[in-house]
Chain A
Amino acid sequence: MLRLLDRGTKTLTCNACLHTMGLIKFTNKGIYCKQGDFYIDPWRPVDLAVTTHGHADHVKWGNKAYLCHDLTKSILQQRLGADLKIETLPYNKEITINGVKISLFPAGHVIGSAQIRLEYKGEICVVSGDYKVEYDGISTAFEPVKCHSFVSESTFGLPIYKWQPQQQIFDQIGDWVTNNQDKGKTSVLVAYSLGKAQRLIKNLTGHSPIYVHNSIENLNEGFRRSGVDLPETIRINADIKKETLQQGIVIVPPALAEGRWIKNLQSAATGVCSGWMQVRASRRWRSADAGFALSDHADWPGLLSAIHATGAEKVFVTHGFTATFSKYLNEIGIASEEVKTQYGNEEEEEQEILVKEA
């Protein structure tokens, strides 16, 4: 992964941003704030990594210091090492680094996810990392922040991606589980350990007991210690009988979705929870028994409403359908530019994390 930009000698910068908004630069190490001398979500080691959230494509090992939201700390410690130097901030509290004011605002993506607001001599820039606008019941709700320039993802930046309200999806998942239980099948929901898993737990609790994989329960424990109101879950172990699991809900990360372990369950039915499930081709490709288009990223209307709400004069699109989305923004009168970054490999990199943790 790191090799990709290693070779490239030219640094990706945008002229518009250098003229009028000199707050951030896109470099081969990540998003750099020169005045503050720190990076946001860098993919190569730096002195200070201001971190939007704990997914593996946004935070790497090897930085000298990290600054993140209070609730992201336990994630980083678990995934990158307990002895990291981590400073934390709550939402809406401002600090100053080398004259640049920094504050965090909820991104609604996963627990602890933050938009990074930078202010320097009246110029405001917001780096949003990953975000979704619908409140998911467990991650602090997304809050739009007025700014001059806005850095946005576009994971689902096509008009085919329009999510149903989450309650409808949870009703469908609930019905699916009930149906599986009646037919003697074990319901296995496939979801990222960080984010999607907690969202499922929060919203499905009360239906049936919830059994989770180690990697999920480790994060859950960290969250509970930090005071997150997360319902009870049961760590899966060899002593739990198949028949017991069949009457519950099993949640595993994608890396385990096709493993031997699943085959040993009492006729497992897998349900993949991901925005990609909106499209039939992806459902087939994942060969899931059921696909639920439940995403922690903003859908098309969500991206547009979030961007409108910032009032930004310039939008940088970092990952997803970048070319398409930024072309559309320009067409509707919002100056936008596509930027190459290494974000957007959640799936792949989350799997690597899991291998390390297992």
Chain B
Amino acid sequence: MSNKTNDKIAALVDYFTNAAAEDMPYVIAMFTGKRPKRPVSTALIKEWAIELSGVPAWLFGESYHSVGDLSETIALVLPPPIRVTDRKLHEWIKDLAALNGKDDAAKKEFILWAWDSLDTQQRFIFNKLISGNFRIGVSHKMLVNALAKQSGTESNKIMHSIMGKWKPEEITFDELIAGAHVNTDNSWPYPFCLAYALEVEPVSLGAEESWQAEWKWDGIRGQIVKRNGELFIWSRGEELVTDQFPELHFLKDELADGTVLDGEILSVKDGQVQAFSILQQRLNRKTINKSQLQDAPIGFYTYDLLEHATEDIRNKPLAERRTLLEDLMEKLVTKDIAILSPVVSFANWDELAEIRQGARDNNSEGLMLKKLDSLYHSGRKRGDWWKWKINPYTVDTVMIYAQKGSGRRANFFTDYTFAVRDGEKLITVAKAYSGLTDLEIKEVDRFVKKNAVEKFGPVRTVKPELVFEIAFEGIAESKRHKAGLALRFPRIARWRKDKKADEINTLDDLRQLLQSTLA
């Protein structure tokens, strides 16, 4: 079997070698999440697709459910094209941008004309262009590697270049590769150093005194860059999130030029780290209002110092970087917003294991173990840093709805909804579709087919009989869910064939858990 990543890189190299030069900056922009403004709403696109295809709305809905992607569903249900065009990608993108501000009739005319001019594959891409949402299996890293290979340029340089500020309509492909815009751009971050999960007892790591332990905070990993009077906040997803967190803007005045901090963006109130569910109110918002600022104030817990006095110090050992970080944090005038993430001191591994059990009390996910002589690596490297998370929460639930999967799995019931007991009633708390083996999926599928009570479109109500243990990472209040709460990252931990439906957890159990995280 060929290596799929290599195949993808080869395909990208091939593309960048042969594509129209004007298209390439747009492709890089799309692959790195630089989205143009959406010119037409999803609702309208869907309405027009239904109209043009002549398929009833409910059947379009069933098709969408089976395909799992709106752009693809539309591409597949539309009638075959009636003409051909050879417009280039950047021309389509400009056409779409030009739709902004036009009335719906003009937008519709253009979209229908385009659909009638494109084949299924092209339509799919066109629809994705409208949505601006390119979730494809090409990571930044993969794209960067392909560009590096194609252009014979160092990949670090390209990463800095494409992660900087640029607009596809203002830059040529060659300028982008050469990093012409980067010299005047102070924003470039370092790759984050990441840790693997510790799957063995820490005793196997050796002597306690060569390790530093810290809390593993449950927020958004962030990097704060201050250079030449400008401040930038990067998220782990390599997104610039500076504007989302005004609380941290004071660092522009208080950090020296040529400083880069690694840390965790958290909601911190009265010196207490808040649950992730609180922080969530502040994420991915274009504007932030006063009450959000008040309800979920932001803090930054610093882990590491990557650049100090304009010098890249990632190759100094952690112990040295930590000392420099402590000095630097000491000198900040504004206290309690950017906070040094404390070192957890411990005499031996057993003691640390005990401390770790209390992680939930301060809304952390467990501990980080870092070797005191470790360098700040680029990306994930085994051995120097470990995350030692506490076990996830679990709840015993009963399956009450099942839904068929997508595509090839469309013949199997693979998506399930789970409920806990609330007095005499069952109330849904989670939906999950992963965590079972193929064999178990088939077994559950047979159960569903035999025990379906009611049908709502693709959904079957089943006899509440199968008990599943659901693991989850957190719990939050939710007005959208009937239960009044929502589980974070729910997944099937185990099929509890040994348990009966009357042995499952209750809604009160979950409410108590929620209160304990908010207290």
> Which residues of A are interface residues toward B (Cβ below 8 A)?
3-4, 7-8, 158-162, 185, 262-263, 267-270, 276, 278-282, 284-287, 289, 321, 323-324, 327-328, 331, 340, 344-345
Q: How far is the CA of A278 from the CA of B407 in the complex (A)?
A: 9
When the two chains form their complex, are residues B7 and A289 in contact, meaning their CB atoms are under 8 A apart?
yes
Q: Give B1 Cβ to nearest chain A Cβ, in Å.
A: 6
Q: Give B409 Cβ to nearest chain A Cβ, in Å.
A: 7
Q: How far is the CA of A328 from the CA of B59 in the complex (A)?
A: 8
When the two chains form their complex, are residues A159 and B77 in contact, meaning their CB atoms are under 8 A apart?
yes
Contacts of B72 in A (CB 8 A): 279-280
B450 within 8 A of A: yes
Contacts of B55 in A (CB 8 A): 159
Q: How far is the CA of A247 from the CA of B374 in the complex (A)?
A: 51
When the two chains form their complex, are residues B407 and A4 in contact, meaning their CB atoms are under 8 A apart?
no
When the two chains form their complex, are residues B450 and A279 in contact, meaning their CB atoms are under 8 A apart?
no
When the two chains form their complex, are residues A162 and B408 in contact, meaning their CB atoms are under 8 A apart?
no
Contacts of A287 in B (CB 8 A): 4
Shortest Cβ distance from B76 into A: residue: A160
Q: Give A271 Cβ to nearest chain B Cβ, in Å.
A: 13
Contacts of B68 in A (CB 8 A): 281
CB within 8 Å of A: which of B107-143?
Answer: 137
Contacts of B60 in A (CB 8 A): 159
Shortest Cβ distance from A346 into B: residue: B411
B63 within 8 A of A: yes
Question: A7-B450, A159-B59 in contact; A278/B2 too (CB < 8 A)?
Answer: no
Contacts of A286 in B (CB 8 A): 408
Q: Which one of B67, B76, B137, B446 contacts A4 once the chains associate, using CB atoms below 8 Å?
A: B446
Question: A160-B76, A269-B2, A279-B406 in contact; A324/B7 too (CB < 8 A)?
Answer: no
Question: A267-B2, A280-B72 in contact; A160/B56 too (CB < 8 A)?
Answer: no
When the two chains form their complex, are residues B67 and A160 in contact, meaning their CB atoms are under 8 A apart?
yes
Interchain Cβ contacts within 8 Å, total number: 78
Give per-residue flags for B1-38: 1 if the beta carbon is below 8 A from chain A beta carbons, else 0: 11010010000000000000000000000000000000
When the two chains form their complex, are residues A263 and B406 in contact, meaning their CB atoms are under 8 A apart?
no
Q: How far is the CA of A331 from the CA of B56 in the complex (A)?
A: 10
Q: Which one of A268, A324, A345 contacts B1 once the chains associate, using CB atoms below 8 Å?
A: A268
Size category of the binding interface on chain B: 20 to 34
Shortest Cβ distance from B10 into A: residue: A183
Shortest Cβ distance from B75 into A: residue: A160
Q: Which one of B2, B77, B409 contacts A160 once the chains associate, using CB atoms below 8 Å?
A: B77
Q: Give A268 Cβ to nearest chain B Cβ, in Å.
A: 6
B455 within 8 A of A: yes
Q: Which one of A4, A269, A321 contacts B410 once the chains associate, using CB atoms below 8 Å?
A: A321
Contacts of B330 in A (CB 8 A): none
Q: How far is the CA of A2 from the CA of B428 in the complex (A)?
A: 32
Q: How far is the CA of A284 from the CA of B56 in the complex (A)?
A: 29
Q: Give A279 Cβ to nearest chain B Cβ, in Å.
A: 4
Sample of 25 A–B contacts (CB below 8 Å): A3-B446, A4-B446, A4-B450, A158-B62, A159-B63, A159-B76, A160-B77, A262-B1, A267-B2, A268-B1, A276-B407, A279-B67, A279-B76, A279-B406, A280-B69, A280-B407, A281-B406, A281-B408, A282-B406, A285-B407, A286-B408, A287-B4, A321-B62, A327-B58, A345-B411
Contacts of A263 in B (CB 8 A): 1
When the two chains form their complex, are residues B2 and A279 in contact, meaning their CB atoms are under 8 A apart?
no
Q: How far is the CA of A289 from the CA of B11 in the complex (A)?
A: 12
Q: Give A189 Cβ to nearest chain B Cβ, in Å.
A: 15
Contacts of A285 in B (CB 8 A): 407-409
Question: A159-B53, A185-B2 in contact; A281/B69 too (CB < 8 A)?
Answer: yes
B73 within 8 A of A: yes
Q: Give B83 Cβ to nearest chain A Cβ, in Å.
A: 18
Q: Give A340 Cβ to nearest chain B Cβ, in Å.
A: 8
When the two chains form their complex, are residues B449 and A158 in contact, meaning their CB atoms are under 8 A apart?
no
Question: A4-B450, A8-B450, A158-B66 in contact; A276/B408 too (CB < 8 A)?
Answer: yes
Shortest Cβ distance from B53 into A: residue: A159
When the two chains form their complex, are residues B446 and A160 in contact, meaning their CB atoms are under 8 A apart?
no
Q: How far is the CA of A8 from the CA of B450 in the complex (A)?
A: 8
When the two chains form their complex, are residues A328 and B450 in contact, meaning their CB atoms are under 8 A apart?
no
Contacts of A278 in B (CB 8 A): 76
Contacts of B455 in A (CB 8 A): 323
Contacts of A327 in B (CB 8 A): 58
When the two chains form their complex, are residues B407 and A160 in contact, meaning their CB atoms are under 8 A apart?
no
Shortest Cβ distance from A262 into B: residue: B1
When the two chains form their complex, are residues A324 and B67 in contact, meaning their CB atoms are under 8 A apart?
no
Q: Give B251 Cβ to nearest chain A Cβ, in Å.
A: 42
Q: How far is the CA of A328 from the CA of B67 in the complex (A)?
A: 18
When the two chains form their complex, are residues B59 and A279 in contact, meaning their CB atoms are under 8 A apart?
no
When the two chains form their complex, are residues A344 and B59 in contact, meaning their CB atoms are under 8 A apart?
no
Given A159-B53, A321-B62; 10 other pairs, CB 8 A cutoff: A158-B63, A159-B60, A160-B76, A262-B1, A268-B2, A280-B69, A280-B407, A282-B407, A289-B7, A328-B59
Q: Give B332 Cβ to nearest chain A Cβ, in Å.
A: 48
Contacts of B408 in A (CB 8 A): 276, 279, 281-282, 285-286
Give per-residue flags for B302-317: 1 if the beta carbon is below 8 A from chain A beta carbons, else 0: 0000000000000000
When the two chains form their complex, are residues B1 and A160 in contact, meaning their CB atoms are under 8 A apart?
no
When the two chains form their complex, are residues A279 and B56 in contact, meaning their CB atoms are under 8 A apart?
no
Q: Give B13 Cβ to nearest chain A Cβ, in Å.
A: 14
Q: Give B318 Cβ to nearest chain A Cβ, in Å.
A: 40
Q: Give A264 Cβ to nearest chain B Cβ, in Å.
A: 11
Contacts of A268 in B (CB 8 A): 1-2
Q: Give B270 Cβ to nearest chain A Cβ, in Å.
A: 47
Q: Which 8 A-B pairs have the closest CB atoms?
A: A282-B407, A160-B76, A281-B407, A282-B408, A279-B407, A276-B408, A281-B406, A160-B63
Shortest Cβ distance from B56 into A: residue: A331
Q: How far is the CA of A344 from the CA of B410 in the complex (A)?
A: 12
Contacts of B406 in A (CB 8 A): 279, 281-282
Contacts of A328 in B (CB 8 A): 56, 59
Q: Give B126 Cβ to nearest chain A Cβ, in Å.
A: 15
Q: Give A343 Cβ to nearest chain B Cβ, in Å.
A: 11
When the two chains form their complex, are residues B62 and A324 in contact, meaning their CB atoms are under 8 A apart?
yes
Q: How far is the CA of A279 from the CA of B455 in the complex (A)?
A: 25
When the two chains form their complex, are residues A281 and B2 in contact, meaning their CB atoms are under 8 A apart?
no
Shortest Cβ distance from B2 into A: residue: A267
Q: Give A10 Cβ to nearest chain B Cβ, in Å.
A: 12
CB within 8 Å of A: which of B131-159?
Answer: 137
Contacts of B59 in A (CB 8 A): 158-159, 324, 328
Q: Give A201 Cβ to nearest chain B Cβ, in Å.
A: 24
Q: How far is the CA of A286 from the CA of B4 in the complex (A)?
A: 13
Contacts of A4 in B (CB 8 A): 446, 449-450
Contacts of A3 in B (CB 8 A): 446
